[in-house]
Chain A
Amino acid sequence: MGEDSGKSSTPWVWGLLLPYIALLWLPFYNAKEPAFAGFPFFYWYQFAWVPLTSLLIYLVYRKVK
């Protein structure tokens, strides 16, 4: 999906690809260690990407608004 004209075109938009890379490339996080608060890495890493993704969207939102 190419970005085109208008206010939605800011280089920041490319930052929104980060969650895709981070979560779809399994070798990054398919591990039990390091565990955190009893959660194996596989789980807390995924949970951590929830607020991170919200934050990324917020940053882009600030730019295109």
Chain B
Amino acid sequence: MSTDTINWTALGVFVFFFALVTVIGFFAARWKAGDLNELHEWGLGGRRFGTIITWFLVGGDFYTAYTVIAVPALVYAVGAYGFFALPYTIIVYPLVFLVMPRLWAVCHRHQYVTGADFVHGRYGSSWLALAVALTGLLATMPYIALQLVGMQVVIGGLGIGGEGFKGEIPLIIAFVILAVYTYASGLRAPAMIAFVKDVMIYIVVIAAIAIIPMQLGGYGAVFDAADKAFQAKGGATGLILQPGQFVPFATLALGSAFAAFMYPHTMTGVLSSSSGDVVRKNAMLLPAYTVLLGLIAMLGYMAIAAGISVKSPTAVVPALFLKIFPDWFVGFSFAAIAIGALVPAAIMSIGAANLFTRNIWRTFVNPNMSGPAEAASAKLVSLIVKFGALVFIVALPTQFAIDLQLLGGVWILQTFPAIVLGLYKTRLRPSALLLGWAVGMVVGTVLAYQTGLKPVYPLAIGGATYPVYIGVIAGALNLVVSVVASALFGAIGVGHGSDETQPGDYMLGKAE
């Protein structure tokens, strides 16, 4: 994927913007100043982010650099099927609007920093909280690693990548910088950098969708070229779906939407906002990023129309930009993608660090942790998590991270029943939720293994076979087991556990 010559103009612009966000990252510690020796200050930015900051933060966090690389790559390779990302990132918002303000309210009232904190308080079960925390950690690690893939791809495009350990040096430098300012500034660093990153990404995408179709003869011509290419290619590709793709397309969209805000990084973004009303407004305003994502997906078709041919589909976007844009703008757009990797990677490592500190270390090792001890632990863990992701990407094949990230989506969905049902009146027994979680995790993993790590499993229903997203199958089983087991456990006298929350804790006050 790397070219042999270094593109000096592009590299210069790239390094300039990268240096700029590094300065911002360190400066961020002083922004909306708080005592960074407290976990809710370091790890949640003091819960002070208003509508606009939250919009940039969650936008920069949810629509990651890997998305910018992977969605067009899938669209380039298979066509319409890759567009499931669009329904997914639309239908997620009604859910966010209904559910997340309740989570924000209860977490604010009880000073919960993580989703697992809420589960612990709501069900009085440190084991269920541990299950939620471990799932979050497990799902986040490969996700961070994938952000590095996004960065690797653009570094390769600049001509400074290359084979072997030497080729990884630019990536290692970038990541060490990220690790150090996240350590120093906590969530404030990615929140501030998200401004720069998102503005840059918007500029790149608007330039791309305005300029590229003009060079290629308009959108009609772009779609025609893609249509012809898919007809020549055959198989499960095309400008619209084949009937056999309906069920996988819809279940992938649905399952991904339900999983999206169960991830530690997206939940951290929600919990760092200053009020439940901010969360509601963001459910209305965040779809602007979905338009952006749809346009980014279109880059896959533009690459086909521009006659881009690449060995690995992940190189499609850099190859397209190199072909179409002048050198200085290539540098700008690659910097946008690389910085786009830093923001989610930072928030993911913070979310993971919060989980480890609160729901593993504090609960099981040292219950008497002081505030500064919590913050110190989280800072250290954020470094370890990022270092782990770096080793992952440098030492193991990229495909391993992609496969694990797919499993991560299936896994994180298994925390949905405990967290989301817990926000409503029905309070299932924690032992039943734990059993449901375990069934979902095992079934999801086994099915994914059986299909050779493909996201869909051919499910036989009434004589016909439908390929269904594995996360949805495992999640449905999880839900059924949780509900049935809760009733059965009740019949044999198993208790509900203690609940430290009150119904009023979930409501947003009029003043908010």
Contacts and interface: CB of A to CB of B under 8 A. Distances in A.
A7 B97 CA distance: 13
A39 B421 CA distance: 40
Q: Counting chain A CB atoms within 10 Å of each CB, which of B94, B98, B102, B221 scores highest?
A: B94
Given A47-B294, A56-B94, A42 B424 contact: no
Interface size, B (range): 35 or more
Interface residues of A, number: 41
A20 B98 CA distance: 14
Contacts of B91: 19-20, 23-24, 53
Interface stretch (B277-285, B307-315, B364-372, B483-491): B277-285
B348 interface: no
B273 to A, nearest CB: 15
A54 B281 CA distance: 10
A28 to B, nearest CB: 11
A38 B223 contact: yes
A3 B222 CA distance: 45
Closest 4 CB pairs of A and B: A38-B219, A38-B220, A16-B94, A23-B87
Given A19-B94, A46-B83, A54 B424 contact: no
Given A24-B87, A38-B222, 19 more contacts: A1-B424, A4-B424, A4-B425, A6-B506, A8-B102, A16-B97, A17-B94, A23-B87, A24-B253, A25-B250, A26-B250, A38-B221, A42-B241, A43-B83, A43-B223, A46-B294, A49-B90, A53-B90, A54-B285
Given A23-B87, A24-B87, A50 B94 contact: no
A2 interface: yes
Nearest to B217: A38
5 contacts: A2-B426, A3-B98, A4-B424, A20-B91, A27-B246
Interface string A5-43: 111100001001101100111110011100101111011
B208 to A, nearest CB: 16
A61 B284 contact: yes
B363 interface: no
A51 B287 contact: yes
B93 interface: yes
Contact of A26 (B246, B290, B294): B246
B448 interface: no
Given A30-B241, A60-B97, A53 B219 contact: no
A31 B507 contact: no
A50 B291 contact: yes
Nearest to B88: A23
Q: Counting chain A CB atoms within 10 Å of each CB, which of B83, B90, B508 scores highest?
A: B90
Given A38-B223, A39-B219, A57-B93, A13 B83 contact: no
B99 interface: yes
A5 to B, nearest CB: 7
A50 B249 contact: no
A40 B239 CA distance: 8
A56 B280 CA distance: 12
